Structure 1
Amino acid sequence: MKNKIFLYLFVFAALVALYQFISTNNMQKAMTADVEGLKNEVEQLQDSVQKSQLKILDMQYFTLENNDDALAYYDHLNLENPSRYIEDKLLETNEPSGDNPLIPYEGMESDFKINKIKVLNHKWILADFSDGKFWGDLIIKYELKDDLSIDFTLLDHLLYARSN
């Protein structure tokens, strides 16, 4: 009788050990698959971040902030952010009532105002204008003088055809 109990205990212990081994093996395979999936996801995110950084660098190529040669023109003026100063001065040309004098069109829905501005270098600006329904683009030449006044000259303009 004693031998049968030991035999049953041995068989039971062997079955528990076998169950533990198979269960642990399956859990290890699942965790390995999860880790591999996460590694692939991290690689994709790193590629996405790298592509985004390259896009940002590409978009910043034509900006005053990233053009040391153009910024050298303003070293003697001691402006902390020349691009922001120029943008503010251009926005000041928006009349409180009436069209902006740099825009060669009359507003159709309301007054044309300059909305977005990109200072390309020490001479040129791209600007977007709109009256709320119609919009267009401007290429503006500017000259920042030693007394911090700015002369703006319209070089070219475009009013987009409204599509319904």
Structure 2
Amino acid sequence: MKSKIFLYLFVFAALIVLYQFVSANNFQKAMNSDIDGLQSEIADLQDSLQKSQLKILEIQYFSLENNDDALAYYEHLDLKNPVRYIEDKLLETNERKGNNPLVPYDGMESDFKINKIKVLNHKWLLADFSDGKYWGDLVIKYELKDDLSVDFTLLDHLLYTRSH
């Protein structure tokens, strides 16, 4: 009788060990599968991040901030951020009552005002204007003088025919 109890206990313990082994093996396979999936996601994210960084570099190619040759024109001026200064000066032209004087169109819904500005280099910038419904783009030549005044000259413009 005593030997049968030990035999049953041994078989029961063996079944528990076998269950634990199979369970741990399945758990290990699931973890490996999860790790492989995460590694694949990380690789995809790294590729996506690299593509995004390249896209940002491409977008920033035509910008005064990243053009050392163009920035050299302003080294003698005491400006920490020439781009911001030029943008502020252009936005000051919005403060006049009525349409912005650089926009060669009369606003249809309200006055045309400049919204967004992209300073390309030490001579040109792009600007977006809108009256709230209609919008367009401007190509502007500018000159930042030694006395920190800025002259703006409209080079070209367009008004989109459909509203937003």
1:15-164 pair list within 5 angstroms: 15-162=15-162
- Per-residue CA deviations over 1:117-139 (Å, capped at 9, x if unaligned) read 00000000100000001100000
Q: Summarize the Cα distance change of 1:70–1:58 in structure 2 as closer, same or farther, 3 Å threshold.
A: same
SS at match of 2:4: helix
Looking at structure 2, the residues matched to 22 and 136 of structure 1 have their Cα atoms a distance apart, in angstroms, of 69
- 8 A contact 2:133–2:163 mirrored in 1: no
Quote how far apart the aligned CAs of 1:95 are. 3.4
- Figure out how many residues of one structure are paired with residues of the other and give that number: 164
Looking at structure 2, the residues matched to 138 and 96 of structure 1 have their Cα atoms a distance apart, in angstroms, of 18
Q: Summarize the Cα distance change of 1:153–1:96 in structure 2 as closer, same or farther, 3 Å threshold.
A: closer
Quote how far apart the aligned CAs of 1:3 are. 1.5
SS at match of 1:152: strand
Quote how far apart the aligned CAs of 1:96 are. 3.8
TM-score, normalization by structure 2: 0.97
Looking at structure 2, the residues matched to 102 and 5 of structure 1 have their Cα atoms a distance apart, in angstroms, of 100
Higher mean C-alpha deviation, range 52-61 or range 67-76: 52-61
Moved over 6 A (4+): none
Q: Which amino acid aligns with 1:153?
A: T
Looking at structure 2, the residues matched to 133 and 10 of structure 1 have their Cα atoms a distance apart, in angstroms, of 84
Looking at structure 2, the residues matched to 37 and 140 of structure 1 have their Cα atoms a distance apart, in angstroms, of 51
Looking at structure 2, the residues matched to 91 and 109 of structure 1 have their Cα atoms a distance apart, in angstroms, of 20
Identity of aligned residues (%): 79
Looking at structure 1, the residues matched to 132 and 96 of structure 2 have their Cα atoms a distance apart, in angstroms, of 15
Residue 2 (structure 2) aligns with: 2
Looking at structure 2, the residues matched to 149 and 8 of structure 1 have their Cα atoms a distance apart, in angstroms, of 98
Q: Which amino acid aligns with 2:51?
A: K
Quote how far apart the aligned CAs of 1:163 are. 5.3
Quote how far apart the aligned CAs of 1:47 are. 1.2
Q: Which amino acid aligns with 2:146?
A: D
- 8 A contact 2:138–2:157 mirrored in 1: yes
Quote how far apart the aligned CAs of 1:162 are. 1.3
Looking at structure 2, the residues matched to 96 and 27 of structure 1 have their Cα atoms a distance apart, in angstroms, of 71
TM-score, normalization by structure 1: 0.97
RMSD between aligned residues: 1.1
